[in-house]
Structure 1
Amino acid sequence: MTPTHGPALSWGESLTGTSLPGLSVGVRTQVQAGTRPKPTIWAEPGSVIPWNSPVTIWCQGTLGAREFRLDKEGSQSPWGRQPPLEPGDKAKFSIPHVTEGYAGRYHCYYYSSTGWSQDSDPLELVMTGAYSKPSLSALPSPVVTSGGNVTLRYDRFTLSKEGVQDLPQRPGRQPQAGLSQADFPRGLVIRSDGGRYRCYGRHNLSSEWSAPSDPLDILVAGQLHDTPALSVQPGPTVALGESVTLLCQSRLSRDTFLLSKEGAAHPPLRLRSKFQGGQYQAEFSLSPVTAAHRGTYRCYSSLSSDPYLLSFPSYPLELLVSGFESYLNVLIGVSAAFIVLLLLLLFLLIRCRHSRRRKSADAAVNNTQPAEGVQLDHQAATSEAPQDVTYAQLNHSTLRRETTTPPASQLGEPPAEPSVYATLAIH
């Protein structure tokens, strides 16, 4: 039987075939399994593999094994079988190109003269690159002192640390429409929490993950017995657009210096140290200075042997940016002027529209008024029998409605002043 989610292995094959030739023994029954100790299963270079990259799954049992088999959860038949390698206690299953069908949970087992072994513990093979990469950030800062608190915020479910397997997972939540994220509090940070982290997005419990996020380094301060000194040249007050240099120094041999700004979530600046004037130091140049450079700075030292463990912080240094207040006042003034101008234009536009509507209404009224002396009698037909007719008598000063059988002007009595009659309705 061909597996439904991917290829199987026959003797001596890698995980690239599509059938299981010569295999007559199906998945073991509960009676067959469990007479030998369970083997160990692992993946090289790891169990989280980028799409289309190679991976090797190893299964190690005891000496005297005759055959090793690999099962994938959800498959109806073994995915592969291999003879043991020397000295006879393990076998490898190679996957040249990991794609969606290979992602999932695997178990291995082996057969010896005394029967089948137990199943190994599960190995979850994860394929990354199924979705676009998420984001990862540290709150309040990626630099944290031992015993402090930091929260790693990431999109959807899965957090990874280099060199560590099986970090705790967190369910996602949606604080904003269309966004998923999860918080991973690392309360009471200890030395071992320092390291490089990434996060992955995935749907539900799928073994198909997104591409990894950009790396985030968590740095634990106070782990080296050193307190560097931080100074500023030419001085702590600098004008907008000018240049300033922050100098971090230590009398102890240090490989790297880091400059951190208080309240900044982005990673600290990092420079290799130079030995000069009897001290190890690094110069951090800020040019041109902007309003964003204002704030409180500290520097740290570290060793290349463990770059995630830092010294104690230097004394804080506050950098002031002159001209910022005047710049801010100009910005506020320009913004206020723009708002006033916008309101004025809006007022003129509304007034112009009202004026146009008024002119249109006056023109319509003028078009409906008849000229003096013109009779507007649109009676379509004359009936043989006398009918009541409604007339409107119009003149310059009076408008009155009369209902009569003919009007006085038609009976030979001249009107007191010229009038115009128009038939309005026939009853």
Structure 2
Amino acid sequence: MSNVQGYFDPRFERVRELFAEQQQDEQARGAALCVTVGGDTVLDLWQGVMDKDNQQVWEQDTLVNVFSCTKPLGAVALLQQVAAGQIELDAPIAEVWPEFAQAGKQQISLRQLLSHQSGLSAVAKPLPPEALFDWAAMSQALAEQAPWWQPGSAHGYAPVTYAWLLGEPLVRITDQRPGRYIQEQICKPLGMDFQVGLPDTDLPRVAHVSRLRNQYGDEGARALFAAMGEPEGLTAKAFGNPVSMMTSTNKREWQQAEILSANGTGNARSLARFWQLLAHGGELDGVKLLDDELVALMQQEHSQGQDRTLLCPTRFGLGVMLEQSTPGGGFGMGSQAFGHPGAGGSLGFCDPDARVGFGYVTNTMGPYVLMDPRALALSEAVYQCLRELD
């Protein structure tokens, strides 16, 4: 028996059936899916359990860590500063963060930070575990860090350092904590149940995250995990320095930190809502997230080719991944789709041609580098339904 809850438009029943089918996997725990088409929600579903003992049912308002699906919210926060004339995309970031202008970083721009071209995917010197939760310590470590390559000459995904590379300039410009800024300027106006840094009152709603056992992903995942075993390499440092990056997901200090690269906590409904606006050029029904010129700029290819961190080809716009050429790397819809996956399976993206906003979250982490097959299968099913409706 399926325990799928929520709403679905009958024209997308096939997607609901697939979502229910995914729950039949013996390791499946909890998940939620939300899809908007134009101004309408056509799917808003959830199923499974949220606690580690598999006793507590996943509810309509259950929250879960969506990892790197958080990054585009940080990017939009900075692009809002560009729109307000507080910072220029191609001006040195050191203009708002003077301490950053050392170790060969004097000319690094916001555009390079947003598109993973800065050479700051990782901190080289070993940091103590608690540094991850010390904003000043992480910002200082990145201010002192020399780029791993000549900025602008290559790109390498910054899985975690992105939080401070964007967050510290945001603090300098707005004089606000990044989590509070994102809450007040993005989440509240859009009606998103999403936080970067949870208040105590929301902690009981957070699903416990676990990993799928005995699954090793595809060739790309195996190459990445092998590189993580070389402690001095860029990949290992990017994902494992401080070591607390790999061990903190279910801890309160992680849930309450403001790591806008990786610890956003929300639901599929919130992701779909965020991407619904970007599918419409940043504005819908009088709610505005960003100017359409800046949304168009987000979608433009800024970096492509072999990724120095992920060790596979990637394509980035500003703060977003673009449709990838590698098998299983795309969003499963049209060629103009853009968005961001999160570690373990979560996915938020839009297809502006189809006017689709998509959000998928799960508390059962899979071992893939880019798109998780579960989210991708759902996306492809949505797209199939849309094509049949045309």
Which structure has the highest helix share of the two? 2
- The TM-score normalised by the length of structure 1 is 0.17
Higher Cα Rg: structure 1 or 2?
A: 1
Higher relative CO (Cα under 8 Å, sequence separation at least 6) belongs to: 2
Which structure has the highest strand share of the two? 1
